[in-house]
Amino acid sequence: MHFHLVFVIAACSWFASASTFTNPLRKHGADPSMVYIVSEGYYYLLNTASRGYIEMVRAKNLEGLKTGETKKVWSDTTASRCCDLWAPEIHELDGTWYMYYTASAAGASEHYPHVLKGGASPWDEYTYLGQLSPSWGIDGSTIHFPKHGRYFIWSCLRSSELTHSPENHQAICIAPLLSPNKLGKGSVISAPTHAWERHGFPVNEGPHAMYHANKTYITFSASFCGTQYYSLGLLTWTGEEPTDPRSWIKTGPVLSSADGNLGTGHNGFFRSPDGTEIWNVFHAENEFPQGNCGGARYTMAERVSFEDDSGRPIFQQAMGLSKEQKAPSGEGKPSGLARHHEPPQN
């Protein structure tokens, strides 16, 4: 299957009114994932919800997501995948949108990654396509490498030589994505080996790819979500075999609790309307000093900056809620040629 980068030209006929915004974007918004579609002029945001279905919200600007148009996009009565619909993400492959998410049976501890097939717009209807792994796994996402193609990344439960322990831990796995619902052989590329990854329980989860200046990164969430030490780590790809853990350099934490926002983690990335900025969307909470894995988590967005010499990403620490921030570049202006959210094919 050929996966490609989409370039689109907006019609230059729409204008959004907001040029600033405040966090949180959604009060009950854990595990956020967002894309901006230039040709449509919409942000599309998904979260983990506790309602038994997956809901999507869209708006012309970030501030508008607080009261944006919402749509119930998926629920399932099939017993093996009816419940715990976690961490939905949408990815465009060959001009069609696919939704990767986690599901389980009612009351079950076993969770698995699944995929839905949509249409030409994220707002189109979705149909069930399949389960990607027979083993426990959550937080599925996709990543592209210029010379290696498309891969699937997720949080798996594996023992790993990286931890020098026979015990299973939540780790980051990667496998070739042979088709939207079929994986090749997988391997562990990151395991919770550092102290900052082991608060509460040793955890690596929520992987998400970012591309900048011909470099490929994966962010992931570390430590147990029920602690205030839940934070983001960073994997930098060296350019070698993607399934080899030696091809990834780990640093972190790169984003952690700050200014009253606790447990900053499970993030995604999206581009500004004009394509010039990369933004980080993540969750945090401020009700439970010990941390929270439930509905208290809210959605935040902040711009990512980069070092001038190395190009390494710099993650702004979470600002206090209701502090006014400048909106992503291009909001409120007609867009010309802009890159889609997909990675460069260099």
CATH of the domain at 36: 2.115.10.20
pLDDT tens figures, 119-168: 999 999 999 999 999 999 999 999 999 999 999 999 999 876 666 666 78
The answer as to whether 317 is a domain residue is yes
Residue owning tokens 């994505």: 177
pTM of the full predicted structure?
Answer: 0.91
Query: Which class for 218: exposed (0-12), middle (13-18), buried (19 or more C-beta within 10 A)?
Result: buried
> According to the model, what pLDDT value does residue 179 have?
98
> According to the model, what pLDDT value does residue 334 have?
63
Is residue 198 over pLDDT 70? yes
Q: Where does the pLDDT of residue 15 fall: very low under 50, low under 70, confident under 90, or very high at 90 and above?
A: very low
Query: Which class for 346: exposed (0-12), middle (13-18), buried (19 or more C-beta within 10 A)?
Result: exposed
The answer as to whether 144 is a domain residue is yes
Amino acid in position 249: I
Range of the domain at 62: 7-339
The radius of gyration of the chain from alpha carbons, rounded to an integer in Å, stands at 19
The answer as to whether 344 is a domain residue is no
The answer as to whether 346 is a domain residue is no
Number of domains in the chain: 1
> According to the model, what pLDDT value does residue 160 have?
65
The answer as to whether 126 is a domain residue is yes
Region 166-194: what's the mean pLDDT? 95
- Calculate the average pLDDT of the chain: 91
Amino acid in position 132: L
The answer as to whether 103 is a domain residue is yes
> According to the model, what pLDDT value does residue 309 have?
84
